[in-house]
């Protein structure tokens, strides 16, 4: 993987040994190529409950393969650990590496609920969650437009994403097990979108007002949510996501006489600015941040490693997305009954 120019200071430091736990697709396709290419990291070992998967990636990295068993205390020491496993089985690993005072890079979502999230960040002050869409160029540009009030105060936000293709994952996939996945469409994809909303609306207090959920086998397969973000004024946020209905992914941010639209799920999306009275949108070209999925993940790694090696205190609440978990927990709690299919 060819890594992009990093916006972070290129401080001189020794290579950091990364212990990789979880040898699934995200590790194979994204994390391992980044860790092998990035001069500041070296893979120390790859561990998985499936030793064949661990061996496959370990050969690529030239490191040890470890079969994960019940006695996880036997896992070797490392400078950073990557936990790329379902959220429902993550707690013992966070506890173990927190006791060792090892920085932890966690795949999304960070925790099943706000109570677990608060417990985890109380154990370790050096953790990050891979909400990599916050480094998409379109997300950062939208955040600056809202912050600067370039088009005046923000009025309304509408975001939607249809995820029908995610149904074809097989009955035995962890995402179809509530104990492992922790939730359905909100946990799998909604957490990314909520992370973008929280990042763009930094400084706003976001409250869930209404939540309608469709359920299948204890998992949420469709959600329709109304939230309000409060700062100097109230901003209405409407969000819907579905695994059972097909529609285009799109975010719309509405100002006084301007609406900005873009596909928030696309890494190389450009903002389309629709000005009242004008024919056709103005296009804002991508900036200097991530314009691919891999670049977004890399910038998460670069940001985390820089903060680990800096003298300042890490804002672990922000790095792990505690406000994201607060919103998702609020959506589940606000839903009353819902429809079962």
Q: Tokens 């993987």 sit at which residue?
A: 1
Strands (E), 27-88: 41-48, 64-67, 80-83
Q: What is the pLDDT of residue 288?
A: 80
Query: How does pLDDT run across 244-291, given as a tens digit for each residue?
Result: 888 899 999 999 999 999 999 998 899 999 998 888 899 998 878 988
Task: Please state the φ and ψ torsions of residue 100, each to the nearest 5 degrees.
Answer: -80, -5
Instruction: Give the residues across from 216 on adjacent strands.
Output: 219
Q: Report H helices in the chain.
A: 25-26, 32-37, 51-61, 91-99, 114-123, 137-148, 178-181, 185, 191-200, 293-308, 316-320, 322-334
Helix (H) or strand (E) holding 239, with range, is strand 234-242
**What tens digit of pLDDT does each residue of 129-176 get?**
999 999 999 999 999 999 999 999 999 999 999 876 544 455 556 566
pLDDT band per the 50, 70, 90 thresholds, residue 321 = very high
Tell me the C-alpha to C-alpha distance, in Å, between residue 137 and each of 6, 232, 264: 13, 26, 10
Residues of the chain with CATH 3.40.50.720: 16-130
pLDDT of residue 172: 59
CB 120 within 8 A of CB 56: no
Sign of the torsion formed by the C-alpha atoms of 214, 218, 220 and 224? positive
Q: What does residue 115 show for φ and ψ, rounded to 5 degrees?
A: -65, -45
For CATH 3.30.360.10, list the domain ranges present in the chain. 133-295+323-340
Percent composition of the chain: helix, strand, coil (DSSP 3-state, to 5):
35, 25, 35
Q: Confidence class of residue 190 from pLDDT cuts 50, 70 and 90?
A: very high
Burial class (CB in 10 A: 0-12, 13-18, 19+), 2: exposed
In the three-class reduction of DSSP (H, G, I as helix; E, B as strand; rest coil), residue 15 is classed as coil
Burial (0-12, 13-18, 19+ Cβ within 10 Å), 91: middle
Task: Kindly state the DSSP code that residue 248 receives in the 8-state scheme.
Answer: -
Poorest-pLDDT segment among 29-38, 164-173, 221-230 = 164-173
More confidently predicted of 56 and 291: 56
Cα gap 128→263, rounded to integer Å: 25
Q: What's the CATH number for 133-295+323-340? A: 3.30.360.10
| C-alpha span between 181 and 170 (Å, rounded) | 14
Q: Which structure tokens are listed for 81?
A: 């650990």
For 284, the enclosing helix (H) or strand (E) is strand 282-284
- The CATH label, of 3.30.830.10, 3.30.479.10, 3.40.50.720, 3.40.50.150, for the domain at 16-130 is 3.40.50.720
Q: Cα 124 to the chain's mean position, in Å?
A: 19
Read off the pLDDT of residues 86-118 as tens digits, 9 standing for 90 and up.
Answer: 999 999 999 999 999 999 999 999 999 999 999
| pLDDT score for 240 | 96
Q: What are phi and psi of 234, to 5 degrees?
A: -90, 135
SS3 265: coil
Cβ atoms 134, 293 nearer than 8 A: no
Query: Residue 66 forms beta bridges with which residues?
Result: 47
């Amino acid at each position: 993987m060819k890594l992009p120019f990093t916006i972070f200071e290129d401080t001189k430091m020794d290579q950091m040994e990364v212990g990789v736990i979880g040898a699934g697709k995200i590790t194979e396709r994204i994390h391992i190529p980044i860790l092998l290419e990035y001069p500041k990291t070296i893979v120390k070992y790859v561990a998985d409950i499936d030793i064949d998967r661990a061996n496959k990636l370990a050969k690529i990295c030239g490191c040890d393969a470890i079969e994960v068993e019940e006695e996880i205390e036997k896992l070797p020491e490392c400078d950073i650990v990557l936990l790329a496993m379902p959220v429902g089985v993550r707690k013992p690993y966070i506890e173990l590496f927190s006791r060792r005072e090892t920085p932890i890079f966690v795949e999304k979502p960070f925790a099943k609920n706000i109570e677990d999230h608060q417990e985890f960040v109380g154990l370790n002050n050096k953790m990050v969650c891979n909400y990599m869409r916050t480094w998409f160029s379109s997300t950062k540009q939208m955040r600056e437009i809202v912050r600067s009030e370039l088009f005046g105060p923000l009025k309304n936000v509408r975001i939607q994403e249809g995820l029908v293709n995610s149904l074809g994952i097989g009955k035995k996939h962890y995402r179809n097990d509530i104990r492992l996945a922790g939730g359905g469409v909100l946990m799998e994809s909604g957490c990314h979108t909520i992370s973008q909303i929280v990042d763009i609306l930094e400084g706003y207090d976001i409250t869930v007002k209404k939540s309608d959920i469709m359920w299948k086998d204890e998992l949420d397969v469709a959600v329709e949510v109304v939230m309000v973000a409060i700062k100097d004024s109230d901003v209405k946020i409407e969000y819907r996501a579905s695994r059972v209905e097909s529609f285009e992914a799109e975010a719309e941010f509405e100002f006084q006489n301007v609406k900005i639209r873009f596909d928030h799920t696309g890494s190389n999306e450009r903002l389309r600015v629709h000005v009242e009275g004008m024919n056709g949108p103005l296009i804002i070209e991508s900036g200097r941040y991530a314009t691919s999925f891999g670049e977004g993940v890399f910038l998460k790694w670069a940001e985390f490693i820089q903060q680990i090696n800096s003298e300042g205190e890490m804002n672990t609440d922000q790095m792990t997305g505690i406000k994201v978990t607060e919103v998702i927990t609020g959506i589940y709690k606000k839903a009353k009954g819902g429809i079962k299919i």
